[in-house]
Amino acid sequence: MFKTVREDIAAAQAKDPAARTAAEVFFLYPGLHAVWWHRVSHRLWQRGLRFAPRAISQLVRAFTGVEIHPGASIGKRLFIDHGMGVVIGETSVIGDDVHLYHQVTLGGTGHDTGKRHPTIGDRVVIGAGAKVLGNITIGADSAIGSNAVVVNSAPEWTTMLGIPAVQRPRRGAPAIESPDHADFYVI
């Protein structure tokens, strides 16, 4: 548990240039507090309890402004920058080293049952105010621009921008070999 907390603090310091000390991050970063309490409520949820984990998530929401459903699956080193207004739905799946800014919603599109929230790959950055909606998948190393509304899946190394969001290649994408010839190109 302490190793995980240290990893979370180090990730926050790496992603936030305003993070001065580990103590400051530990005591004053509500996004991290929400993630830490989510880990507690998620374990209870996995054991079949429903009321206690939901009560924890609602109390944490009141204190941090971040609402994470206890059923959501979150990978390592999730950093929620600023935090206020973030909503992560019940069937959301978030990979490792993901960075969310304030007012991000990982939500559903209606009254669907089963998997109804997005799956976010490793190392994805989601800008302030972005809405990622429905049972879609955002590939690893992608970025979603601020205020984008994403309703379609995106492959790895994609940038999603606009309302509705459109795909563009992400800068820094690795070169891959063209199936047609031996030279290389960037997706």
pLDDT at residue 186, as a whole number: 39
Average pLDDT estimate for 115-138: 98
Q: Tens digit of pLDDT for each residue in 17-52?
A: 999 999 999 999 999 999 999 999 999 999 999 999
Residue 176 binned pLDDT confidence (cut-offs 50, 70, 90) = low
**pLDDT confidence of 182, banded at 50, 70, 90?**
very low
Residue 156 has pLDDT above 80, yes or no: yes
Please name the fold of domain 2-170.
UDP N-Acetylglucosamine Acyltransferase; domain 1 (2.160.10)
Q: Which helix (H) or strand (E) holds 137?
A: strand 137-138
As given in the structure block, the two tokens for residue 57 are 């998530």
Rounded to 5 degrees, what angle do the CA atoms 12, 15, 16 make?
Answer: 80
- Tens of pLDDT, residue by residue over 41-91, are 999 999 999 999 999 999 999 999 999 999 999 999 999 999 899 999 999
Q: Does the pLDDT value for residue 181 go beyond 80? A: no
pLDDT for 173 equals 77
Mean pLDDT of the chain: 92
Better pLDDT: 100 or 111: 100
Q: Give the residues across from 154 on adjacent strands.
A: 138
Q: Which residue has the higher pLDDT, 181 or 130?
A: 130
Q: Name the nearest CA neighbour of 173 among 142, 144, 137.
A: 142
